[in-house]
Amino acid sequence: MYSDIGSQAFDRYCKKRGLKGYQGSGNRLSWWADIKTAPLDKVRFDWGYRDGARQIIGHSDKRSVHWHYAINVHLRSTPLPHARIAARLVFSENGMDAIEDKRRAHTLRRSLAKGWRNSRWRDMLCAFLWWLSDDKSQLTLSVADGGHIAVRIPPMQFGCPVRVDETSDAPAEEDDPDIPSSQWDDDQLTEEEE
């Protein structure tokens, strides 16, 4: 029930902000902004520990389409209350109306964004949420008269401290030693297998 009420509240919030819904695969509704709703320039964001600037709307001259960053959000209550955000791209020819041809949209998604790396997607999410929240640290989703769900943003960031031992002395693997090819005897191996 919480996730359904929360999802409906998020949908209402997006409609109120002038965003448009795009029905994707699995009947998931993703919210995107047209060229009259969101800034066409880079959106600057500053969450303290992460700052930067990214476009959330762009244009491909080569493909003659606008691309629009979009998110779909599902509120969950377990294992702890959280919002699950999935990103996607929506395409339009005029900047206002999404391309309805699923095959063409799929081809555009695979070709236009294939070189985009995780850092770009992460920064677009940060920029989109910064813009959507009006530079605030939470989205306040109205669920009833006087009742609301507060979704704290920015998204949680995780790090994994990993270290590679770059010393020239590799540890010896005594249970599986490397045998130099000069000492390898194919005839002996064949005899042992028989």
Domain span holding position 93: 2-152
Contact between 58 and 41 (Cβ < 8 Å): no
What is residue 2's predicted lDDT score, i.e. its pLDDT? Answer: 59
CB atoms within 10 A of CB 104: 13
Is 78 among the domain residues?
A: yes
Closest of 102, 98, 154 to residue 131, by C-alpha: 154
What is residue 55's predicted lDDT score, i.e. its pLDDT? Answer: 96
Q: What is d(CA 12, CA 29) in angstroms, rounded to the nearest whole number? A: 12
Handedness of CA 37, 40, 46, 51 (dihedral sign): positive
Is 182 among the domain residues?
A: no
Residues in the chain predicted with pLDDT less than 70, given as ranges, are: 1-2, 166-194
Q: Report how many domains make up the chain.
A: 1
Residues in the chain: 194
Q: What is d(CA 101, CA 120) in angstroms, rounded to the nearest whole number? A: 26
Is 19 among the domain residues?
A: yes
- The model carries a pTM of 0.77
Angle at CA 24, nearest 5°, toward 22 and 25?
170
